[in-house]
Structure formats: C-alpha cells, structure tokens
C-alpha cells in the first residue's frame, strides 16, 4: 500500500493550479508542506503553508483537519488571526478525493475573497479570545433597543443577573443588559419582555459606542489597551476614572464590564465586553502643566495592558428565533390559552419556543407531581397553580414573550353564569375580542358551547384528544361546538370506559403519554401555523392514525 | 353505518322551518307592511307598487337567518340619476325610521335594522330601489336598473345593474326539490361561516337539477348537487346566468381562488360524509331550539337528532 | 299481515309466523303473564312499520295479573340490532291470560314511561297484548302510543 505522504504529494501535484514547493514533511501528528497556487485570474502566484493532521480526511470537532496559512492575507475575509484560511468544503472519506475538494475550496476562497474581495451579507463576530477573570467567565446577553447610538455615546448599563453555571470547566456568571443610561440622562430600555425589563437591576457596567469594531482589519479584536487609545474619548476616560474612584472602597478587586458598541450590518449593533478589575483600570494619569508648572489637575489616558475580553451574545428576537419560528401572522397574535393541562401546556410552550410574543393562560387547576410526566411542568417548581407555573416556564424560555395569568375563575364560573345575560354577554365578547386568538384546551363542553355561541370576531381554536391519544380533534373558527361534539359522540370511537382514575372516580382522565400527546399537538400546531402563514381558510380538522400503519398520522380537514 | 342520512336531513330541514318562528315572522311582516305603506304615501305616483322579494318570498328561508326584501320600482321620470333615487330613499328612510332603526346603505339596497325589541328579537328589512329604463316600460317587462354602490359584485366597474327581480322570483317557483337542497346548503353556509352568496347557491342548485340527473332521496339529491358544484365551478367557462338578465354572470362574483375553494369544500363534505355518515351532523346541524317541537300528527315519530339505537327503560311493569 | 291505525294514518306489518312464535311462548307461561320487546323497521316515509323480531327479557316476574320485565343486560343487543340492521326497539308485548286484550292503567303508565325515556329514540311505541288460554291464542291487539294515549290498529 502506498504511503500516505506519497499519496498526498501525488494527488496535489496533479492539480493544475497547485505547485508543491518542497518535499512534504511528516512529524508525529501531521504532514506539512508548502504550495504555490496559480491560475489565470491571479496576477501572481500565492503561496500557502499547509498542514494535514492525522485524522484527515475526517473533521476535527467542527473544523477542517487541513489548514492553509498565509499571514500576509490576514486583512482578507475569512482569514483567522494566525493567517489560516477558513475554507468551506464538504465531507468525503476518500483521501484523494478530499484533497482535491479542499484544494479547490482554497481556490474558491482566492476567487471570492482575494480577487473579488467580496463582503458577506452575514455579520461575523470579531475574533477575540474570551478569557476568564479570576477563574470565572462573565457572559452578557443584549437585545435591540429603540435608539440609534452615535459615536462616542457613553453611560452606564443596568444588568440583571441570570443563573450561574459552568463554561469550559470554569464558573460562569450570566447577565442580560436591561437598560442603557446615556450620560445625558436618556434611559434606553432594551426590548425584552416586561418581566426582564422590570426586574430590579443587580449589577452595573459602562458602555461606550465606538461605531467601528475595536479590532485589527475589523476582525481581530485588539489585544492590548494601547490599541484602544484614540478609540475612547477623553470624557469617557475621565468618567471611567471617576467611577473607579467612587467604587474603589466597596468593590476593589471585583469584575466590572465595559461594553464597546459598534455597527455591524444594516442598523445592527454589537456589544463586545471587556472585563475590568476595579482598582486596576488601565488608566494612567499625568499632571497637567501650564508651562512647566503643574496645575494640580491630571490628564487621564489609557495605559498599556492585556485586554480581558468577556462573552457577549446578541440575543435579539431576530437572532433568538433566527433558526426557526412560526409565521409572523401567528407570533404577533395576542393569544389566550384556556386550560393548561397536558395539551394546553404543550401548546403554550411550543408557541413560546416558536416566537409568539403575547400569551395569556387561564386554568383553575393545581399542578401536582402526577401532572409532570405528560405536560411541560417541572418537578423542581413544586406544587403551584398551573397558570402561575406556566407563566414562569414560558418566561424562563423566552425573553420576548409577555406571558400573564388571566383570571382563572372567569371561564369556570363567571362566564357560565352570565354568558347569555344581555349587556353582560356583550362585555364578555368585548373582553375576549381583545385577544387575536383564543385557544381552548379545557375539554370542557360547556365552555366550548359558550365560546362558540358568543360568535367572537377573534380567531378561536378548540383542541382535544380522544382516549389513548388516538385522535386529536381541532375546532378551528367555524362551527366548533357542533363539529367537536359530533366527532366525539358519533364519529370517532372514543373509548370512555378505560380511563385513568387517579383518586376515586371523580377525576377520570384519558390515558396517554407525553410522547403520544405531544406528537399530535405538534402536528396540529404545525398545521395551524401553515394555515396562518399561507392565509388559507381555517377548517376544522382531525389528526388520526392511518388504518394500515398506525404510526403514520394523517390530517383530515372538514 | 346505520344513520339514515335522508331522514336526518329531513329533520334538519324541519327544525329550520320558518313555522317555528311564526311570531318573529309576523313582526317582520308587520314592519314590512308599515314600510311599504309609508313608501307609497311618500312617493305616490312616482313609483309602481312595491313588492316582496328575498328568501322568504322564494321559500328558501331558514329560521336562523332570513330576510324580507322590499323592491321599490321607481318610474323613469322620478329621478335624474339612480344615485339620486338611492340617496333620496335613504334620506327618507333615515328621517322616518332613524329613531327606531339603524338605516344603512348597502350594495344595492338600504338596510333597516330595527332595534332589539322586548322579546330580544331583531327585525331587519332590505329595501331595494330600482328604476325602469324608459317611461312605462316596467309595466310591460318588469325590468329595472338597480343602483350599485362600491361595486365588488361584478368585475366590471359599473355603477348600476340591470335585472328583473320578478323573473328571479319566478325562476325558483314550484321547484320544491331544489328548494330543499338550497335550504340545506344555506344551513351549511350559515353554521360553517362559509362566504358564498345565497343567490349563487340558489342559481347553481337550480342549474344542477337542470343539467345533471339529480334524483333519489334527499341525501342523494344534495350529494348530486354538491358533486355538480364541485365539478363545475372550477371550469373556466362555467356560467350562472342571472334569470333577471342573461348578461349578468353571477359566477363573475367569484375569483379563481374562491372557485377552487368552493369546489374543495364540496369535495371535503362529500368525502367526509361518505366516509362516515355521522359527519353529516356537524355540517348540517339540527336547530336545537326546535328539536322538541317536532310532533306531527301523522306517521311514526322518531326523536330528532337520534340516529342512534333505541333501548327500552330497564324495568317496566304491565298489568 | 297488514293492519292500520287511523289516528296516525300508519300501517303495521307482521309476519304471521312471527306472531305465532310470540303467542306460543306466551302460552307456555300460562296462567302467568309473560312478555318481551318488539323489534322493527320503519319505511322511508315513516308511514309503515314492519315488525321483524322480538326479544325476551333476561329476568322477569310474572303472575296471573302482573308482568314485570327487566331490560338489564340487553342494551348491547338493541344497539347491535340497530347497527347491523337499522332496526329499532319499537315497543312491548305481553299476555293477558284468560282475559281481554284491553290495556290496563298499568299498561298505559308503562307506555308513557317508555315514550318519555331518553334512551328510547322512537316517539310512538307499540304495545301488543295477546289474550291467551292454556293452549291457544284467543286474539291479540296492537296499540300505538301517542300523546299519553293508546289507540288500536284495525
């Protein structure tokens, strides 16, 4: 069998645009060499060193196990700090083929970023080596604000601490940025949900908007404070100095974040955080002089020292839900979920994870340990009103959902007593129409009848499942009561004998597992989302098992 | 399946009979007569006698939703323009009934929504003004020009529509099978909030009976008509002539998406019901307000809404 | 055999053999009263009733002047008959040993209960009374129930 190094040599030598400059060398872990790349569109050849690691052609974590380097190319796109090129390539397990692919990828990089000097539409974070401070990492999440920062704006930020955790085997303290307090006293709230905005701030930091990234070539974050000289205004440096002085006694040695803001793509801004130590700010003072005489005042400026970069993440709605969300026509709706048992809790949670911004929940019931196995409730929250716990969970998932508890008694007693009383009925209709969508997951026939008879202008959905989770029945806007009742009473074979009786016979419930129910709920919500995003007429539907293959589910619209 | 669809549908029709709401109908008629009288007093020789139209007149009304229409035929020289005629009538009705009713301009008519009375009943009437084309021509052929507001009915941007309402009423006269199917489709439309115009349902049903072999029991007839709708509304050249004016194609009121939707709805309905007869109950519900009033004096009675087995009470004693 | 009731303008059909079967069972219980349930189907226009079968009670009490039957345990049977054939439980039959076929106050009360019972989905149940002796069927009368009254077929 031919030797690996020979195969590599032969394969790349055959490529018309590659010239192997010297004999390949092999050490314990890799094979190294130098190549010159030349093709028609290049004015002069480019040379790269390359290194192929032992695991090649497989990938190493999530990076390629072949590296091409040229430190002179650092100012071009997709080049790392050490001069290595980020090539976009594809999987292949055959050494020869993979080499061919990867060298072509290098050529593509040259075409795209060296010759055409393309800018990507995607923003790439500046590359900074995030390190811990005194054995602890500091992480901050920020979101959009309704404000346009100008160059040299600075001020304080209010921070709210989230949970502590572990990050790369060290401790991590997590925060969100709640508010920016501009020096001229304008307070800028971040677009989090109310609960995150209104919680009392726990920590403070400072921010400085420098407009351009604090980085070499716009990509490699400064490593020394000296690089920031000229970036930060004198005003700001004075402010920092005063701040340190004021807090020195109480907080000496503590970490203190400085957020540097800059524009990325469009109107987006990014905040990159530097961790300062109170008592060790990189500020030097030189006496001010008039002629040769000291005035007694000082001029403050940046002094040399290593920058400790902390962790920041853009957690704005766009990024938070960037990987997938429901259609805007659903997420922007004000949604009321009545009944947050097994079905309702899954609906609430899914809507939240899919970007819905306004969810009220109502349920008179208490969450107990036996509810947890097939709902979205959590053991560690103990016994709670279902609605209260659900709001906590939804809020914990998304910082963009306004989740509130609706009047729990409203749907159990009040509306049932008074729904057909003249004058009061109209009030109910007005109240409910304040929502854009009412989802009834109570499986309460009385309530279903009442909601249907109120003939609401807002959309309404009724969800229920038959025993053993065989079918899911969804009433969607029209003729809900008659449709759902008829499905349960006459059409579907709902087994009402084999129910689960937890305690005595007064509280029987259907039998089904989390897996059974959530499968149906997810499918129903997917369909509902499609109806909204395509703007098609909502029809009642049933999700049922295929007769031949019960694991196949089908949606039958009515 | 044991549910007899035709029996069930006949129950649906009977629970939606107008006779159940006789008192309400009488209120409507009283209001209608009152309005007619005031109109005759006001316009005198400028108009021919107002006449009744609408679903009630056509015997296609259902007791959950029905309207009484009054057509007011104006003479040619009564007003310069149709718009003036329409506005004058509106102003007069507003002045006369504005304190007891909401008076509003609709597409071709003026709506009178009387305030809810002590029984909780809402009476509403539509008054449709029309004008003959030429002096005395109406007495001969009954044709009228109607004023068309915010035209979205027909694709042309006309401000008037020429038709013959008498002819429209005649068109359905004596067609009792058609009427049953029309009423069923209106019941479906009402409960399921379907968007289709009753006039369209009426015309297409009559056309289906004419063009297709619609026969059998009530269900079979309904199914036949639904099939006809399903297959035909998506045909580009499918037309529904207004019996009052063959130049008006009522299919023009639907765009392509609406035609497809109507066809799809029919397909779903037929499929679901044939798949499981019980589904008929949610598409065509009984009017449960009148389920118990069904006691005719002839025939064996079946309790309405049953369609389920009959089982005797557990213990009975005979002497 | 076809008989008519003029009050409700309806007809009733019963196969003579079926009637004989019923009678012979009644005779067996002489001198005590005995009875059971009647099964039938209606014509499309609900003007005609065809009695197709009968069902005997699982438990009953019979004396010369009283008959009490229970329908317990038979629910499924009635449901199946409906599911499979579309036939209804349409009424009751019992014997009057050595007596007329006139109905008693007890009989009428029972029929009122039946018509009002929720599980009974028909409105005009039938009552068949058979006058029997030790060995033979003397005569019989079919009644139709309507609005708290029983009227005979002719």
Compute φ and ψ for A486, nearest 5 degrees: -65, -35
Give the 3-state DSSP-derived string for B266-280, with helices as H, strands as E and coil as C. Answer: HHHHHHHHHHCHHHH
Asked whether residue B300 is assigned to any structural domain, the reply reads: no
* pLDDT 10s digits, B106-138: 989 999 999 888 887 888 899 999 999 999 999
Measured at the CA of C98, the angle between CA C96 and CA C104, to 5 degrees, comes to 35
pLDDT score recorded for residue B66: 79
pLDDT score recorded for residue A155: 94
Give the 3-state DSSP-derived string for C56-106, with helices as H, strands as E and coil as C. Answer: CCCEEEEECCEEEEECCCCHHHHHHHHHHHCCEEEEEEEEEECCCCCCCHH
CATH of the domain at B224: 1.10.1410.40
Asked whether residue A121 is assigned to any structural domain, the reply reads: no
Q: Which string of DSSP letters, residue by residue, matches chain B? A: ----HHHHHHHHHHHT-GGGGHHHHHHHHHHHHHHHHHHHHHHGGGBPPPEEEHHHHHT--BTTB--EEEEEEE-TTT-SSHHHHHHHHHHHHHHHHTTTEEEEE-SSSEEEEEPP-TTS---EEEEEEEE-SSTTHHHHH--EEEE--S--SSSS--SEEEE-HHHHHHHHTT-HHHHHHHHHHHHHHHHTT----HHHHHHHHHHHHHHS---SSHHHHHHHHHHHHHHHTTSTT---EETTEEEEEGGGGS-HHHHHHHHHHHHHHHHHHHH-GGGHHHHS---GGGGGG---SSS--B-TT--S-----SEEEE-
Q: Kindly state whether residues A442 and A475 are assigned to the same domain.
A: yes
Q: Which domain holds residue C139?
A: 2-152
Q: CB neighbours (10 Å) of residue B266?
A: 22
Instruction: Judge whether residue B71 has pLDDT over 70.
Output: yes
* pLDDT 10s digits, A44-70: 999 999 999 999 999 888 788 999 999
First to last CA, chain C: 11
A232 or C75: which carries more pLDDT confidence?
A: A232
The band of A511, judged by pLDDT with boundaries at 50, 70 and 90, is confident
- Cis check: omega of the bond before B232, within 30 degrees of 0: no
Q: What is the mean pLDDT of residues A401-407?
A: 94
* pLDDT 10s digits, A275-285: 999 999 999 98
Q: Kindly state whether residues A203 and A229 are assigned to the same domain.
A: yes
Instruction: Judge whether residue B262 has pLDDT over 70.
Output: yes
Lowest-confidence region among A83-92, A487-496, B201-210, C54-63:
A487-496
Q: What is the mean pLDDT of residues A519-534?
A: 97
pLDDT score recorded for residue B58: 85
Q: Kindly state whether residues A315 and A333 are assigned to the same domain.
A: no
Q: Would you call A301 an interface residue with chain B, using a CB distance cutoff of 8 Å? A: no
Total number of domains constituting chain C:
1
Q: Kindly state whether residues A455 and A505 are assigned to the same domain.
A: yes
The band of B217, judged by pLDDT with boundaries at 50, 70 and 90, is confident
Q: Kindly state whether residues B189 and B224 are assigned to the same domain.
A: yes
pLDDT score recorded for residue B26: 86
- Rounded to whole angstroms, the maximal C-alpha distance in chain B is 84
Q: Would you call A422 an interface residue with chain B, using a CB distance cutoff of 8 Å? A: yes
The band of B1, judged by pLDDT with boundaries at 50, 70 and 90, is very low
Q: Would you call A151 an interface residue with chain B, using a CB distance cutoff of 8 Å? A: no
* pLDDT 10s digits, C96-117: 999 899 999 889 888 987 887 7
pLDDT score recorded for residue B293: 52
Compute φ and ψ for B298, nearest 5 degrees: -120, 155
Asked whether residue A126 is assigned to any structural domain, the reply reads: no
pLDDT score recorded for residue B199: 93
The neighbouring-strand residues paired with B170 are: none
Total number of domains constituting chain A:
3
Residues of B in contact with A490 (CB under 8 A): 3, 278, 281, 307
Residue ending a domain, among A287, A320, A353, is A320
Asked whether residue A48 is assigned to any structural domain, the reply reads: yes
Task: Dig out the tokens for A386 from the structure.
Answer: 């279902």
CB C113 within 8 A of CB C102: no
CATH of the domain at A450: 3.40.50.720
Q: Would you call A462 an interface residue with chain B, using a CB distance cutoff of 8 Å? A: no
Q: Kindly state whether residues A334 and A313 are assigned to the same domain.
A: no
Q: Kindly state whether residues B33 and B162 are assigned to the same domain.
A: yes
Closest CA to B58 of B187, B194, B166: B166
Residue ending a domain, among B172, B193, B214, is B172
Task: Dig out the tokens for A460 from the structure.
Answer: 């309404």
Total number of domains constituting chain B:
2
Q: Which of B300, B314, B318 sits opposite C122 (nearest CB)?
A: B300
Task: Dig out the tokens for B196 from the structure.
Answer: 């289709």
Q: Would you call B303 an interface residue with chain C, using a CB distance cutoff of 8 Å? A: yes
Q: Would you call A34 an interface residue with chain B, using a CB distance cutoff of 8 Å? A: no
Closest CA to B302 of B311, B313, B294, B314: B294
Residue ending a domain, among A84, A115, A146, is A115
Task: Tell me how far apart the alpha carbons of residues A172 and B79 are, in angstroms, rounded to a whole number.
Answer: 85
Q: Which domain holds residue A255?
A: 136-320
Q: What is the mean pLDDT of residues A223-240?
A: 90
Shortest alpha-carbon distance between residue C64 and chain B (Å): 9
Q: Would you call A490 an interface residue with chain B, using a CB distance cutoff of 8 Å? A: yes
Is residue C144 classed as helix, strand or coil in its secondary structure? strand
Pair type for strands C88-97 and C126-132? parallel
Shortest alpha-carbon distance between residue B204 and chain A (Å): 22
Instruction: Judge whether residue A257 has pLDDT over 90.
Output: yes
pLDDT score recorded for residue B313: 81
Q: What is the mean pLDDT of chain B?
A: 88
Asked whether residue A128 is assigned to any structural domain, the reply reads: no
Closest CA to B227 of B260, B269, B192, B188: B269
Do residue B282 and residue A479 have CB atoms under 8 angstroms apart?
yes
CATH of the domain at C136: 3.40.140.10
**Given CA atoms A233, A234, A236, A240 in this order, what sign does their dihedral have?**
positive
B304 or B167: which carries more pLDDT confidence?
A: B167
The band of A117, judged by pLDDT with boundaries at 50, 70 and 90, is confident
Asked whether residue A131 is assigned to any structural domain, the reply reads: no
CA B143 to the chain's CA centroid? 21
Q: What is the mean pLDDT of residues A517-524?
A: 96
Q: Kindly state whether residues A99 and A145 are assigned to the same domain.
A: no
Q: How far is CA A529 from CA A39, A413, A504, in A?
A: 51, 32, 39
Residue ending a domain, among B122, B152, B172, is B172
Q: Kindly state whether residues B238 and B155 are assigned to the same domain.
A: no
Q: CB neighbours (10 Å) of residue A436?
A: 16
pLDDT score recorded for residue A406: 93
pLDDT score recorded for residue B153: 52
pLDDT score recorded for residue B2: 60
Q: Kindly state whether residues B121 and B252 are assigned to the same domain.
A: no
* pLDDT 10s digits, B184-215: 999 999 999 998 899 999 999 999 999 988 88
Closest CA to A405 of A348, A351, A455: A348
Chains A and C touch, using 3 or more CB pairs below 8 Å: no
Q: Which domain holds residue B150?
A: 18-172
The neighbouring-strand residues paired with A557 are: A541
Q: Kindly state whether residues B189 and B160 are assigned to the same domain.
A: no
Q: Kindly state whether residues A104 and A212 are assigned to the same domain.
A: no
Lowest-confidence region among A306-310, B18-22, B301-305, C76-80:
B301-305
Interface test with B, best of A537, A539, A541 (most B CBs within 10 A): A537
The neighbouring-strand residues paired with A554 are: A544
Q: Kindly state whether residues B135 and B180 are assigned to the same domain.
A: no
Asked whether residue B318 is assigned to any structural domain, the reply reads: no
Residue ending a domain, among B172, B197, B231, is B172
Do residue B310 and residue C8 have CB atoms under 8 angstroms apart?
no
- Radius of gyration of chain C from its Cα atoms, rounded to whole angstroms: 14
CATH of the domain at B141: 3.30.460
Instruction: Judge whether residue B53 has pLDDT over 80.
Output: yes
Do residue A486 and residue B193 have CB atoms under 8 angstroms apart?
no
Residue ending a domain, among A115, A146, A179, is A115
Shortest alpha-carbon distance between residue B260 and chain A (Å): 12
Chains C and B touch, using 3 or more CB pairs below 8 Å: yes
Q: Kindly state whether residues A311 and A337 are assigned to the same domain.
A: no
Q: Kindly state whether residues B141 and B204 are assigned to the same domain.
A: no
Instruction: Judge whether residue A2 has pLDDT over 70.
Output: no
């Amino acid at each position: 069998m031919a030797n690996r190094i020979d195969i590599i040599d032969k394969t790349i030598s055959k490529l018309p645009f590659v010239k192997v400059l010297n004999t390949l060398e092999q050490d314990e872990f890799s094979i190294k060499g130098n190549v010159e790349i030349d093709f028609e569109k290049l004015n002069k050849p480019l040379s790269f060193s390359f290194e192929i690691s032992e695991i090649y052609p497989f990938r190493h974590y999530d990076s390629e196990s072949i590296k091409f380097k040229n430190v002179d190319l650092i100012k071009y796109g997709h080049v790392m700090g050490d001069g290595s090129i980020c090539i976009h390539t594809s999987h292949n397990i055959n050494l020869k083929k993979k080499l061919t692919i990867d060298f072509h990828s290098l050529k593509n990089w040259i075409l795209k970023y060296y010759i055409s000097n393309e800018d990507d539409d995607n923003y790439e974070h500046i590359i900074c080596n995030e390190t811990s401070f005194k054995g602890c990492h500091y992480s901050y999440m920020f979101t959009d604000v309704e404000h346009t920062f100008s160059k040299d704006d600075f001020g304080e930020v209010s921070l709210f601490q989230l949970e502590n955790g572990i990050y790369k085997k060290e401790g991590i303290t997590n925060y969100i940025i709640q508010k920016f307090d501009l020096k001229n006293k304008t307070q800028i709230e971040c677009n989090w949900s109310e609960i995150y905005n209104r919680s009392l701030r726990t920590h403070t930091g400072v921010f400085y908007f420098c407009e351009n990234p604090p980085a070499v070539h716009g990509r490699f974050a400064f490593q020394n404070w000296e690089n920031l000289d000229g970036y930060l205004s004198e005003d700001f440096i004075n402010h920092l100095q005063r701040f340190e002085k004021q807090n020195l006694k109480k907080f000496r040695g503590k970490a203190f974040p400085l957020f540097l803001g800059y524009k990325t793509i469009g109107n987006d801004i990014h905040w990159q955080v530097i961790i300062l130590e109170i008592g060790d700010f990189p500020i030097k003072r030189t006496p001010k002089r008039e002629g040769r005489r000291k005035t007694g005042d000082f001029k403050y400026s940046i002094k040399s020292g290593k920058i400790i970069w902390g962790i920041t993440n853009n957690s704005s709605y766009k990024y938070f839900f960037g990987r997938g969300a429901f259609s805007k026509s659903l997420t922007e709706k004000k949604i009321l979920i009545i009944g947050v048992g097994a079905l309702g809790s899954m609906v609430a949670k899914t809507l939240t994870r899919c970007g819905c911004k306004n969810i009220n929940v109502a349920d008179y019931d208490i969450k107990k340990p036996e509810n947890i196995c097939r709902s979205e409730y959590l053991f560690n929250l103990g016994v709670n009103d279902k609605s209260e716990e659900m709001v906590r969970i939804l809020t914990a998932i998304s910082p963009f959902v306004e989740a509130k508890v609706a009047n729990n008694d409203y749907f159990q007693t009040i509306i049932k007593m008074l729904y057909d009383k003249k004058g009061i009925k109209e009030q109910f209709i007005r109240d409910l129409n304040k929502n854009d969508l009412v989802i009834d997951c109570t499986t309460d026939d009385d309530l279903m009848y009442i909601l249907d008879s109120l003939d609401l202008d807002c959309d309404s959905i009724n969800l229920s499942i038959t025993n053993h989770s065989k079918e899911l029945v969804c009433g969607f806007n029209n003729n809900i009561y008659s449709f759902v009742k008829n499905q349960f009473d006459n059409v579907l074979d709902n087994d009402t004998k084999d129910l689960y009786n937890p305690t005595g016979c007064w509280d029987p419930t259907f039998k089904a597992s989390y897996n059974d129910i959530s499968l149906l709920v997810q499918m129903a919500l997917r369909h509902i989302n499609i109806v909204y995003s395509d703007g098609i007429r909502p029809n009642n539907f049933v999700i049922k098992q295929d007769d031949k293959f019960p694991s196949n589910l089908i949606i039958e619209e009515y | 399946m044991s549910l007899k669809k035709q029996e069930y549908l006949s129950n649906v029709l009977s629970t939606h009979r107008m006779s159940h709401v006789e008192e309400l109908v009488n209120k409507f008629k009283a209001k209608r007569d009152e309005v007619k009288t005031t109109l005759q007093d006001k316009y005198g020789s400028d108009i021919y006698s107002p006449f009744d139209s609408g679903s009630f007149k056509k015997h296609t009304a259902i007791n959950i939703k029905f309207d009484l229409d009054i057509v007011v035929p104006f003479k040619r020289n009564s007003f310069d323009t149709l718009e003036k005629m329409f506005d004058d009538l509106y102003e007069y009705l507003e002045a006369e009934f504005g304190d007891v009713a909401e008076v509003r301009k609709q597409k071709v008519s003026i709506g009178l929504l009387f305030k809810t009375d002590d029984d909780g009943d809402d009476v509403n009437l539509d008054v449709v003004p029309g004008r003959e084309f030429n002096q005395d021509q109406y007495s001969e052929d009954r044709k009228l020009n109607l004023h068309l507001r915010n035209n979205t009915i027909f694709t042309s941007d006309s401000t008037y529509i020429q038709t013959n309402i008498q002819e429209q009423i005649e068109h359905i006269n004596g067609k009792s099978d058609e009427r049953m199917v029309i009423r069923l489709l209106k019941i479906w439309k009402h409960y399921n909030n379907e968007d289709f115009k009753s006039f369209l349902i009426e015309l297409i049903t009559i056309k289906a009976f004419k063009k297709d072999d619609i026969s059998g029991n009530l269900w079979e007839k309904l199914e036949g008509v639904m099939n006809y709708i399903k297959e035909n509304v998506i045909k580009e050249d499918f037309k529904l002539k207004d019996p009052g004016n063959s130049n008006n194609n009522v299919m023009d009121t639907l765009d392509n998406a609406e035609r497809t939707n109507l066809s799809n709805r029919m397909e779903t309905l037929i499929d679901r019901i044939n798949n499981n007869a019980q589904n008929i109950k949610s598409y065509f519900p009984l009017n449960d307000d009148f389920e118990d009033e069904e006691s005719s004096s002839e025939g064996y009675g079946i309790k309405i809404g049953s369609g389920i087995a009959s089982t005797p009470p557990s213990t009975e004693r005979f002497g | 055999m076809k008989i008519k009731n003029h009050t409700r303008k309806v007809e009733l059909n019963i196969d003579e053999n079926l009637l004989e079967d019923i009678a012979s069972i009644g005779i067996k219980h002489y001198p005590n009263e005995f009875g059971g349930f009647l099964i039938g189907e209606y014509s499309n226009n609900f003007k005609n009733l065809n009695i197709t079968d009968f069902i005997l009670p699982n438990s009953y009490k019979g004396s010369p002047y009283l008959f009490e039957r229970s329908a317990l345990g038979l629910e499924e049977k009635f449901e199946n008959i409906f599911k499979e054939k579309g036939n209804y439980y349409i009424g009751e039959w019992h014997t009057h040993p050595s007596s007329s076929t006139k109905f008693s106050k007890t009989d009428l009360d029972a029929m009122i209960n039946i018509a009002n019972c929720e599980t009974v989905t028909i409105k005009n149940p039938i009552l068949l009374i058979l006058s029997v002796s030790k060995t033979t069927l003397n005569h019989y009368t079919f009644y139709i129930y309507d609005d708290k009254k029983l009227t005979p077929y002719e």
